[in-house]
Amino acid sequence: MKVVMITGNGGSGGLVGYIRGILSASVISNEHEVVLFCGTRLFERLGNIRTQVKVVQTPLVEERGVDIVLNNPLPEELVKMISNENPDIIVFLNGYTRRGLEAWPNVMILHNQLYVDTYQLMRHGLSKLTVQLMGFRFAVRRSMRNADGVIFLSNFSKQQADEKKVYYKNGVVIPFGFEDHNRRDKISYRPIGDRIRLLYVSAMYPYKNHIHLVRACSLLKKGGYDFELHLVGQKYKPVFKNLVREIRNSDLEDNVVFHGWVNHERIKSLIDESDIFVYASSVETTGYGLLEGMARGALIASSNEAGFPEMLRDGGVYFNPQDCQSIKTALLKLIKMDKRERVSLQEKALRYSYEYSWDQAAKQHYDYFRKLSSTFE
């Protein structure tokens, strides 16, 4: 089977990890021929991938938002290049399809749950970003209708699409994998210090609930607890400005540390150095950020929304991410836990993370591609 995968020239860390995972897994063998069309900058971010994957670096895949929203056809030269590969199936890795390749079965992956959950999308308020997201929401939903197959990254993602009556054909749930070299072999227990170190790794958008986490930390400080809250991730300016204002008004300037974007190796170290790993998002297609904490055997306080309890199960303590009192209660529960309970949670979180591997996820992808392409023969 020959699979042609198309992606652009950028994307989030999660998307890059996803692409790297399904390209590097050992399941790619003589029975699967894979060709990736991507831009140079994305290829550099992907790093080393398996040698049997043919990579075509071309500016023709670099897309403008207006082309995606208006569903403009792909450049004729790119369509010809892809046609010359004689593929069995086309996989659009960026989360939407494009016109011009309808002669082959098309598959898309739903990467952003905001395009299903309009409430969480509208939490961005009246802004340029909201308008952009609404445009992409339209494009993604159109793609889901037109694609011959849709891959959802969690049961929650598919169930919510069904509840919202989003139309698609041949949907399948295939969770993210995780890189084994980034996973710990066993937990490393250390008692929580006098200055409690909290960590939240996530870009700063309204549905990530940083403001509620900061307010929960303010309540902790009023209760006599000393802590450092480390925030890692890109800053969406309106959220960041509100966050800085809330920190100043709550007298937390000495308690909150902004790291901005950091590379993956540094994220591993930050997780290992933290006392409590916090995951406060309201909605995701999959909880890859949560999985990062699980794979390091962290002590976790997690949002009870989306599909996170399905992933973490009884390996952490849950809270309502839009309720600062609920977040505070969850943090206090972990702070006051004895060693035995703490170790038990960490061991469970690490053990459950082993259920997410790229070899397993990639096999499911290629089995799905084969099954779908066979129906078009």
**How confident is residue 181, by pLDDT bands cut at 50, 70 and 90?**
confident
Domains 2-177+357-374 and 181-353 agree in fold: yes
Q: What are the structural domain ranges in the chain?
A: 2-177+357-374, 181-353
Share of the chain above pLDDT 90, in %: 76
Contact residues for 367 (Cβ-Cβ < 8 A; gap 6+):
none
The fold for domain 2-177+357-374 equals Rossmann fold (3.40.50)
Q: pTM for this structure?
A: 0.94
Q: What are 203-251's pLDDT values in tens digits?
A: 999 999 999 999 999 999 999 999 999 999 999 999 999 999 999 999 9
Q: What are 156-174's pLDDT values in tens digits?
A: 999 999 999 999 999 999 9
- What kind of architecture, by CATH, is found in domain 181-353? 3-Layer(aba) Sandwich (3.40)
Res 102 pLDDT > 90: yes
**How confident is residue 26, by pLDDT bands cut at 50, 70 and 90?**
low
- Residue 27: what pLDDT? 65
Res 29 pLDDT > 70: no
